[in-house]
Structure 1
Amino acid sequence: MAKRISMIDLFAGCGGMTSGFVAAKGYKPVMAVEWDLHAAATYAANFGESHMRWGDIALVPDDDIPPADVIIGGPPCQGFSNLGTRDVNDPRNKLWKEYIRFVRHARPKVFVIENVDRFLTSSEFELLQQEVREGGLLEEYDLSSGLLLAADYGAPQRRKRAIVIGSRIGKIPLPEPTHGRGNPMGLKTWRNVRDAFSGKNISDRPETTSLPESKVIYFDKEVPGPFKSEDLHIGRTPTALSLLRYSHIPPGGGRFNLPEELLPNCWKKKKTGTTDVMGRMRWEEPSVTIRTEFYKPEKGQYLHPQWEPGPDGYRVDRPITHREAALLQTFPEHFVWCGTKIQIAKQIGNAVPPVLAESIAKHIKPYIYRSQ
């Protein structure tokens, strides 16, 4: 039997990437680092507290970094993101250097970096490429990089991410898609929103707007949780005006479907762009990217897909719930969560879809085994 592949997860968040690697079998987390308490607590609740380091990655001493076969993680990307400031001097963008420090000391056979698509055109990525050249800090490694669409790897979501695979056991290409739109030759069909929600016994009308009263101790701190998947099916209390707006929007539609009298002044003046705003999902398509404020329809195409035309058509006029967002991100039903509603939403939206991580983990596993 092949030995377990030891793994470090940096900027681990709630553990979406670790979830995928563990699901791929053969991987054993030996260290994880995350600065956000509630995300670290969620990780600990699912994968164990003993190897999670909650705190600033820069404060982890070199001597505390264990050897590992694989390092995974996504340094914070707000400075690269289209939604962020795009400030190349944003200190969060410098945290990739901490990632390199861990690679230098753990000497993994393979490392995987996940980030927003703009990372591949950033000055930081150019510097990373310089470090794998002769004389660089990572000269042992060969890089493969590109954009992967989560829907192409089994996620019911059109989420595009930059993936970099570094290897010192021979160049490893990016994994080939397993899914495609329609009925592509040799591939499975894209999963859609209906696939994600089907068989999950999800009520169209959540019974509560609050998480249960529950507390747990992690890292000697009390945090809300742990909450089961069904606990995350929490609704909101939209105004009558919001409900009226929701009812006018068909699947695939958005703010441009609203009659003039229901438009706020800011939308009346903005005749183009932001087409996803106040949008409704489609049952038979993957969702848009699940971001951290998916519970706000004014932030994107996050209205529930159920909508029938006509005055008597059955409609579910609400945004998706935390549970539904986690399903679209492909978190397993047994996954548990720590934090407030807002903190858990942030964890869900920032996570790597576990099935995308699982595809990467399965892809690199044979290369690692052959090198043992």
Structure 2
Amino acid sequence: MIKHNAPITQDEDIELVSLFCGAGGLDLGFERAGFKTVWANDILPEACETHSRWSDAEVVCADIKKIDVVDIPRAKVVVGGFPCQGFSLAGPRKVDDSRNILYKFFVNVVDELQPDVFVAENVKGILTLGNGEIIKAIIAEFADKGYTVTAKLVNAADYGVPQDRMRVIIVGTRNGRKFVFPEPYESRVTLADALRDLRDPEPDEVCDAPYSSRYMSRNRKRQWSDVSYTIPAMAKQCPLHPSSPDMVKLGPDIWKFGKGKTRRLSWREAAVIQTFPADLEFAGDLTKKYLQIGNAVPVNLAYAIGSSVMNQYFKR
């Protein structure tokens, strides 16, 4: 079992239900803040297996559309990063994408369980999808269920994550008090800070797929003294290790590799950059490992949000 940081002292467990849980980055961060995950759900078997390796929660591996809400235990907090493929700036942005309506199942669970607080996470693109009408509709639906909703665009790099990762955090409270987001930390964690104690990867831990024209359309390398580019869910789009030579710009959207050994970040390095514990073993093949890691909420970002939720609404 992964050892968590010491939780905030409290009289009883503050139970948490997690939707679209993936490997559990959001849940792990909230557990470090003092919450207890009792039930989690995802559709990807490998993600459910990874989650079960570190948590004691009941992990239900199934399509959320096929789960009866009455079978989900009541909890004081509901969290989840509902699927964002249709919202992403990196891919097609379709208002009618079927994946864009999965948030409605999140709303239904919140309506049924009536938690004190819910926390949802999504990509930056959700703010401008449909000329901003999508995010307004999502907030309105939660508000109709009796919640005071606050949404903010944050960068995970401001909260102990060695990575530029812009994400929208949506927090709803039932007591009418608006959530106050934590202030950014005074300093950032660099790639050198994050990766200095990791061993060199084995060949089967690094994606060695050919570099596509899309990959070569921009710089993919950050320096040791900087934070990483965003860790993606696609293995072949993973940024370069900082030991790689600098990329050279040839023209608009055209780059080439410099001289020397070039390689992507290994899945273990990507996991550490996402602030998962270094000893957490992800389930599945190499592609599924990168997928789980890239889809996750960084643990340290989740911890910062979870700590603020605990302090504002639950700490005795």
TM-score bracket for this pair, using the shorter chain length: 0.7 to 0.9
| Preserved CA contact (<8 Å) 2:19 2:78 | yes
1:12 maps to: 21
Question: Using the alignment, how far apart are the partners of 1:19 and 1:334 within structure 2?
Answer: 14
- Unpaired stretches in structure 1, ≥5 consecutive residues: 180-186, 210-233, 243-263, 268-272
Query: What are the superposed Cα offsets for residues 126-162 of structure 1, whole Å, 9 maximum, x if unpaired?
Result: 22222245xx2x1x21011110100000000000000
Residue of structure 1 equivalent to 2:35: 27
Q: CA deviation at 1:174?
A: 4.1
Q: What displacement does 1:315 show?
A: 5.3
- Match for residue 208 of structure 1 among 203, 212, 224: 203
CA deviations over 1:163-208 (Å, ceiling 9, x no partner): 00000123333423332xxxxxxx2x111110110223x22xx343
Question: What code does the residue aligned with 2:30 have?
Answer: F
Distance 1:197 1:141, change over 3 A: same
User: Matched residue of 1:30: which SS?
Assistant: strand
Return the match for 2:287 from 342, 345, 367. Answer: 342
Q: Distance in 2 between matches of 1:172 and 1:315?
A: 52
Q: Which of 272, 276, 280 in structure 2 is aligned with 1:327? A: 272
Post-superposition shift, 1:366? Answer: 1.9
For residues 104 and 67 of structure 1, the distance between their equivalents in structure 2, rounded to whole angstroms, comes to 11
TM-score normalized with structure 1 length: 0.73
Are residues 1:170 and 2:180 paired?
Answer: no
Equivalent residues of 1:9, 1:32 under 8 A apart: yes
Deviations 1:254-282 (A, max 9, x none): xxxxxxxxxx9x69xxxxx9323xx3221
Amino acid at match of 1:118: G
Structure number with larger C-alpha Rg = 1
SS of 2:172 mapped into structure 1: strand
What SS is found at the alignment partner of 1:368?
A: helix
Against the structure 1 CA distance between its residues 322 and 110, is the aligned structure 2 distance closer, same or farther, given a 3 Å change threshold? Answer: same
User: Structure 2 residue aligned with 1:81, among 88, 92, 110?
Assistant: 88
**1:224 matched to which residue of 2?**
none
CA shift at 1:335, angstroms? 1.8
In the comparison of the two structures, how many residue pairs are matched?
A: 292
Partner of 2:225: 284
Aligned partner of 1:190 in structure 2 is 188
1:259 aligns to what?
none
Change (3 A) 1:344 1:236: closer
SS in 1 for 2:268: helix
Q: Distance in 1 between matches of 2:281 and 2:55?
A: 10
CA distance in structure 1 between the partners assigned to 2:208 and 2:100 by the alignment: 37
1:84 CA drift (Å): 2.1
Tell me the distance in 2 between the aligned counterparts of 1:113 and 1:308: 38
The 10-residue stretch of structure 1 (124-133 or 149-158) with the greater mean CA deviation from structure 2: 124-133
Distance 2:16 2:196 in 1: 33
Q: What displacement does 1:2 show?
A: 2.1
Q: Is the 8 A contact 1:169 1:367 kept in 2?
A: no
- Counterpart-to-counterpart distance in 2, 1:308 and 1:115: 33
Q: Partners in 2 of 1:29 and 1:146 — Cα distance?
A: 24
Matched, 1:368 2:308: no
Matched, 1:235 2:210: no
1:123-272 to 2 correspondences below 5 Å: 123-133=133-143, 136=144, 138=145, 140-179=146-185, 187=186, 189-200=187-198, 202-203=199-200, 206-209=201-204, 234-235=205-206
Q: Contact 2:40–2:59 (CA<8 Å) still a contact in 1? A: yes
CA shift, 1:308, in A, is 7.0
**Offset from partner CA, 1:37-96 (integer Å, 9 cap, x none):** 111111112213x61111011211122122111000011011111122211111111110
Q: Distance in 1 between matches of 2:208 and 2:228?
A: 23
Query: Would you say the 8 A contact 1:146–1:174 is kept in 2?
Result: no
Give yes or no for contact 1:70–1:108 (8 Å, CA) kept in 2: yes
Aligned partner letter, 1:329? Q
State the one-letter code of the partner of 1:39.
A
